[in-house]
Amino acid sequence: MTYDVYDYFELIKLHKGKLLYFDKWDEDAIWINIAGTMLFSHDEDKRHSWVARCFLSSRSRRHQKKIDLDALSYNRACKSLGDDFSVLAMYMGGPERFINILFSKQLNTIESEANERFENGLMCASIFRYALSNLCSLGKAFEWYNDSHSSVRPYRIRSGSHVFNKIYPQYLPSIHFWSAYATFYDYGVEEKLSYEDGGALFCCKERKDQGLDDGLAGFIKLSIAYLMRGINSVPRRRGPKSPLLDPAKLFYILAPNLEFMHDPNRPS
């Protein structure tokens, strides 16, 4: 799967409304935001709540190790933790909105809901990847999915209308991320959408042995490849204006600190 990086950056210029922009964020923070987008593409408040809780939990454990060392490390860790809180608060619209998101009663069950959504995310990715590989409709891809999983237990048979009216639209804006995750999942990535250590999560010896990228950069590159292929793939018997993916409905990512997309004006 290959794509022209310049074409991707041109798409970003056209669809800034769904741009995930990470300026100087590290890999852990970038991954937490991508994972939150995958789980809650359809609900910004829930997405921000999940990201905030995971980010602060991850950062707190990281800084705790430094706090336990000595007084100087303690002071540095406290400053870093305050900086992290400030950056995250401003990213989400300011301190007041950040506190409301973090402590809203309506969002207290966000972690259990995220776990429940994981299965549906992988299902939608399977349907999309099959349609992409076979240039067939999503309906045909769903038939394949249902048939291939009919003997798996526990498995809930779903109707196509329910999937495409209620479930698939919720994951569509991030289906390229889910497809990339599902590809790594095939190689043995964790069976739960972990927010810990995005770089290590996607380390994959099998992909390296095949000359393919791994790590978080490899995951993002693969997601972009799925995006570019999806917007340029039209199922058989469909008109040229009906690709599998509509570029206006997708989330895009730009992280200048990752080497392969460090300069969007001069893609290599």
Q: What is the pLDDT of residue 172?
A: 96
DSSP letters spanning 176-245: HHHHHHHHHHHTT--SS---S-HHHHT--HHHHHTT---HHHHHHHHHHHHHHHHHT---TTS-TT--SS
Three-state DSSP at 21 gives strand
Largest CA distance in the chain: 69
Distance CA 167, CA 41 (A): 12
CB of 266 closer than 8 Å to CB of 9: no
pTM of the complete model: 0.84
Three-state DSSP at 20 gives strand
Query: Which positions of the chain have pLDDT values less than 50?
Result: 153, 263-268
Cβ-in-10-Å burial (0-12, 13-18, 19+) of 171 comes to buried
Q: What is the pLDDT of residue 249?
A: 92
Q: What is the pLDDT of residue 107?
A: 58
CB of 170 closer than 8 Å to CB of 41: yes
> Positive or negative, the Cα torsion across 119, 40, 57, 19?
positive
Q: What is the pLDDT of residue 128?
A: 97
Angle, alpha carbons 201-203-206 (nearest 5°) = 135
Q: What is the pLDDT of residue 67?
A: 65
| Domain residue limits, the chain | 5-43+112-261
Distance CA 105, CA 266 (A): 46
Q: How far is CA 53 from CA 18, 48, 50, 173, in A?
A: 22, 9, 5, 22
Three-state DSSP at 19 gives strand
